[in-house]
Amino acid sequence: MSKTSGDWSIRVATLGELPRLVEIELESDSIFAEVGIGPFQYDCSAAQLAAAAIVLVAGKAPVGFVSVEVVDDAAHIWQLSVLPSMQRQGIGRALVAAVCDWAAAEGYIAVTLTTFRDVPWNAPFYEKLGFVELRELTPSLADIRRREREVGDDALGARIAMRLELCRRGNAAADPRPARRGDTPA
Ligand SMILES: CC(C)(COP(=O)(O)OP(=O)(O)OC[C@H]1O[C@@H](n2cnc3c(N)ncnc32)[C@H](O)[C@@H]1OP(=O)(O)O)[C@@H](O)C(=O)NCCC(=O)NCCS
């Protein structure tokens, strides 16, 4: 798997670079200070990344990554991070698109995640990519939300679960992938 755009590409992470991805998560999360959120109870470790269903990175030297778990019937974005100096260039969008491609190829019907509702680069970002807020949670998603409340994430800001049905992938304008023959707008 390799998708090139600009001077970065998206590929599967190697085991050796997982410690760097943990650093990238910490660096990227620094932007939450802009909206008065943080610090977090960090739970991302190289060992946890190694146990993920897949970890995709952007760049030969990683500038961003996304880790994915399988939660109920869906591929679940556990962490998405782009270095502050590389943000607003479409890398986050491209990483999400790569997750959707991977999930569809693996036979999952949806992509899910939990995020802050009111942070511009959280729920509004995912909404642009076609994700919608879930009102009813599947059992494992409900467990994830319960754990988030337990570690204090909800005290930092309103959190929601979101889901993108892959068969209804929307907003072609927000999708960074080049149009392919046979692609149909949702
Ligand atoms: C979320 C994140 C990965 C997005 O990465 P990115 O490479 O900047 O994303 P993109 O360049 O694809 O931007 C997508 C859109 O998100 C929104 N967005 C991103 N950063 C934003 C910011 N600082 N302020 C407002 N909107 C922002 C914009 O709508 C942007 O589109 P635009 O640049 O065309 O206006 C990055 O902001 C990040 O690492 N944040 C810290 C960790 C985090 O919040 N992860 C997600 C947890 S669920």
CA distance 89 to 6: 9
Q: Which residues of 2-22 are buried (b: 16+ CB within 10 A; e: fewer)?
A: ebebeebebbebeeebbeebb
Cβ neighbours of residue 181 closer than 8 Å, sequence gap 6 or more: none
What pTM was estimated for this model as a whole?
0.89
> What is the third-level CATH fold of 2-174?
Aminopeptidase (3.40.630)
pLDDT tens figures, 31-75:
999 999 987 766 689 999 999 999 999 999 999 999 999 999 899
Candidates 42, 77, 125, 133: which one to mutate for ligand 1, based on the most atoms within 8 Å of Cβ?
125
Q: Tens of pLDDT along 112-128?
A: 999 999 999 999 999 99
d(CA 40, CA 22): 14
Contact yes or no for 62/24 (Cβ under 8 A)? yes
Residue 19 CB–ligand 1 contact under 6 Å: no
Element (H, E) at 48: helix 46-50
**Domain range annotation of the chain:** 2-174
CA of 59 to the centre of ligand 1 (A): 17
